[in-house]
Amino acid sequence: MPDPHIPVQIRPATLADLPAINDIYNHYVIHSTCTYQEEPETMESRIAWFHRHGVSHSIVVATDDVGTILGWGSLSAFHPRSAYRFTVENSVYLRHDVRGRGLGKAILAELISRARDLGFRSIIALIDAEQAASVALHKRAGFTLAGRLTQVGFKFGQWLDVVYMQLTL
């Protein structure tokens, strides 16, 4: 459960949320291997990302009781080929100072519920193998390890492995 000291609401994202979504994400672009992106996401590409989602692929934000965005999650197309249309890839990113309080779990639960309601069959998470919090979060939500790709990423001067985790709905 989320920490009772930070009551959260989870709602669909709007265009007005994109600067906060981008700030949360770009912290990890600069400081972490949890994303393999190396240059900060621009607002222009974030807006295009938002418009690619629409009704069939959700973006949600978690806010505190005064509406401050603490984290976000998304369901994106896993692959552009049409036969993959029942499969989505999920992302969850929290403001770095509110991690470890159950908020990631709450956002992921919301994404799983939405994926089910939208009729998707499978959710895939691509996770840097060293990201213990993300692996634990997905495992706790019922995702299982589907595979590992070795040394497919290179960031901060080191080779990185990716694990695929999958939840069949």
Q: Which residues form the interface with ligand COA (CB under 6 A)?
A: 28, 34, 91-94, 99-105, 125, 127, 131-134, 136-137, 140
Of 34 and 169, which CB lies nearer to ligand COA in the complex structure?
Answer: 34
Biggest alpha carbon distance in the chain? Answer: 44
At 137, give phi and psi (nearest 5°). Answer: -55, -50
Q: Which of 58, 41, 38 is nearest to 50 (CA)?
A: 58
In the complex, least distance from residue 73 CB atom to ligand COA, rounded to whole angstroms: 8
Report how far Cα 107 is from the mean position of its chain's Cα atoms: 9
Of 71 and 83, which CB lies nearer to ligand COA in the complex structure?
Answer: 71
In the complex, least distance from residue 27 CB atom to ligand COA, rounded to whole angstroms: 9
In the complex, least distance from residue 6 CB atom to ligand COA, rounded to whole angstroms: 11
Of 60 and 125, which CB lies nearer to ligand COA in the complex structure?
Answer: 125
Strand partners, 69: 63
Q: Which of 105, 80, 87, 74 is nearest to 8 (CA)?
A: 105
In the complex, least distance from residue 3 CB atom to ligand COA, rounded to whole angstroms: 9
Of 83 and 158, which CB lies nearer to ligand COA in the complex structure?
Answer: 158
- Collect all residues with Cβ–Cβ distance below 8 Å to 86 and sequence separation of at least 6: 119, 120, 121, 122
Residue number, nearest CB to ligand COA: 104
Cα–Cα distance, 83 to 6 (Å, whole number): 41
In the complex, least distance from residue 80 CB atom to ligand COA, rounded to whole angstroms: 20
